Amino acid sequence: DAGVIQSPRHEVTEMGQEVTLRCKPISGHDYLFWYRQTMMRGLELLIYFNNNVPIDDSGMPEDRFSAKMPNASFSTLKIQPSEPRDSAVYFCASSLERVTEAFFGQGTRLTVV
Amino acid sequence: AQSVSQHNHHVILSEAASLELGCNYSYGGTVNLFWYVQYPGQHLQLLLKYFSGDPLVKGIKGFEAEFIKSKFSFNLRKPSVQWSDTAEYFCAVRTSGNTGKLIFGQGTTLQVKP
């Protein structure tokens, strides 16, 4: 398996623009997580899905952030409109079952100028 | 709500020194515990995990961790660090009693001087 695949790897956008981050989990995994990593706040859980259903989105910073998982092999994290404080590395991770370890993608480094 | 606390934010060691990174979690039920490592510019990779059984678990690259239930702790250790261990280390907790939420500590940056 190719592992968790995220795209793009790097994104530079202007403030106010819409940004869409994409994730393809490992085939057969039923949990998908979105994390944001910054120097100040560390690794924050934004939202996670089980069998394509959002379970907990309490970590989503505000209404500008939204996430979807239309099927078992694809998820998106959208920021609209983007702001400079959204600059961070966004990681997607997936796991098989409720208790096992999660496997991480390479991350998307987002810079909002 | 579950939470994870890592006591050391930045640790500097010389090669061959021993390492211990602290991790405490807050959750009253059954937990699964993990340590991940993130090398500069890379994604998180699993070092070791604890689900049940022997509370002393061994991972890759000579790392080990001990689960002490009474202290809600899962400290990471390595007897002799190498320059290549320079990285950020994250402790994580996943509770088996609820819906599978996976929470990470703030991370500890380890710098090993050659």
A64-109 pLDDT per residue, tens: 999 999 999 999 999 999 999 999 999 999 998 877 899 999 999 9
Q: Residue B8's pLDDT is what?
A: 86
- Which residues does residue A48 pair with via DSSP β-bridges, in sequence order? A33, A56
Segment holding A109, helix H or strand E: strand A108-112
3-state helix, strand, coil in chain B (%, to 5): 10, 55, 40
Q: Residue B68's pLDDT is what?
A: 95
CB-CB under 8 Å, B101 with A56: yes
Per-residue model confidence as pLDDT tens digits over A7-66: 999 999 999 999 999 999 999 999 999 999 998 888 999 999 999 999 999 999 889 999
Q: Residue B77's pLDDT is what?
A: 98
- Which residues does residue B95 pair with via DSSP β-bridges, in sequence order? B31
Per-10-residue mean pLDDT of chain B, 114 residues long, equals 88 97 89 94 94 94 95 96 97 80 93 95
> How many angstroms away from the CA of A16 is the closest CA of chain B?
27
B40 contact partners, CB below 8 Å, separation of at least 6: B86, B87
Q: Which two tokens stand for residue B16?
A: 């061959």
CB-CB under 8 Å, A48 with B43: no
